[in-house]
A = this chain, B = another copy of it.
Amino acid sequence: MGGDHGPSVMIPGVARSLEKLPPHVRFLLHGDEAAVNAEVARCKGLAGRVEVRPAERVIGMDEKPAQALRRGKGSSMWNAIEAVKAGEAAAAVSAGNTGALMAVSRLILRMSAEMDRPPLVVSAPTLKGVTTFLDAGANVDCDAHRLVEFAILGEAFHSAVHKIDRPSIGLLNVGSEDMKGHQEVREAHRILREGNLDLNYFGFVEGDDLARGKVDVVVTDGFTGNVALKAMEGAAAFMRAELMKAFTSSWNASLGAALARPALRAFRDRISPAPAAPLLGLNGVVVKTHGSADQRDVAKTIAVAVDLAQSDFAAEVERNMRKLPAAIAESMEPPE
């Protein structure tokens, strides 16, 4: 029911996702029965693959998380998460209210790691492919321990979804030498380098390595991550605006732009970030897409949820989380 368009985009998104999913994948569609059924009837190929689960209410896009917790029971979002908890569903997908989704997921599924809330995870395009970037804004204050947890979650996510074996992990800093940066980032660096975790740790990376794709997974605190990601979005918007100005500055340039239009469109698609934002660190798979998602975005988000549910993501996270206390202890011993 969530997002700007509700079932009229979500259900066609489900139909579109089926084209690429294995035949055993089925959907529980939580929401207003009449509205959902009407959309299901309009979409081809859904028969036998979906089951409508009527929900008596919807959590609004502007409800506060606390409100959603108090009054959310029986809503489509609540029921979708409950179905994951009950083992009826392997994953939940939503385009709804982000704060509410996070709060309801934490309440029902509980965090598996020690962190307070799931990091925001972004899959961003780079010159070499795609980088998993976290935390993009959920946890503003992060100690070293928290940063290492992000590395564990990011690694398991990247290998499950982007199908890279032993993805490389970088810790965002202002330089590459061991002594650079503040205490938290230096301590996390020591744990990742010296602790006996099963991770392919590269070391420190810098801001420009994000778009360059120097590593597969970039780890940072939610303050720096939020600012960096928005700064890049702002830079991209600025360049687009300036480019359009340049292209309309003369008759020749306009003709040039017309001839180059398909290439420019491919360029725009290339630099768009992936629409799926998983809520990692929960005991269960929940993946969010943005409110303005279109059918394609919904289908891509579903594919990510299926990848997470079918991979050994959860087992891999658990394996490394168990090693974490020892890794922290090791990193504190004086070097021989």
Contacts and interface: CB of A to CB of B under 8 A. Distances in A.
A233 B247 contact: no
A72 B239 CA distance: 43
Interface in A232-287: 232-239, 241-243, 245-247, 249-250, 252-253, 255-264, 266-267, 270-271
Interface residues of A, number: 60
A43 interface: no
A137 B174 contact: yes
Given A222-B174, A260-B257, A207 B234 contact: yes
Interface stretch (A6-14, A59-67, A208-216): A208-216
Give the one of A207, A235, A253, A255 with max B CB within 10 A. A235
A177 interface: no
A28 to B, nearest CB: 34
Contact of A232 (B127, B234, B257, B264): B234
A204 to B, nearest CB: 11
A245 B207 CA distance: 23
A20 interface: no
A223 interface: yes
Contacts of A264: 243, 246
A172 interface: yes
Contacts of A181: 140, 223
A147 to B, nearest CB: 13
Contacts of A243: 243, 264, 267
A76 interface: no
Contact of A220 (B227, B235, B257): B227
B230 A246 contact: no
A315 to B, nearest CB: 33
B238 A271 contact: yes
Given A211-B231, A228-B231, A239-B271, 11 more contacts: A126-B238, A127-B238, A140-B174, A140-B180, A172-B227, A210-B235, A227-B227, A228-B228, A242-B270, A246-B266, A252-B260
17 contacts: A125-B238, A141-B182, A182-B223, A207-B234, A208-B234, A209-B234, A210-B235, A212-B234, A224-B224, A224-B228, A235-B236, A242-B270, A243-B267, A246-B263, A246-B267, A257-B260, A259-B259
Interface of A: 125-127, 137, 140-141, 172, 174, 180-182, 206-212, 220, 222-224, 226-239, 241-243, 245-247, 249-250, 252-253, 255-264, 266-267, 270-271
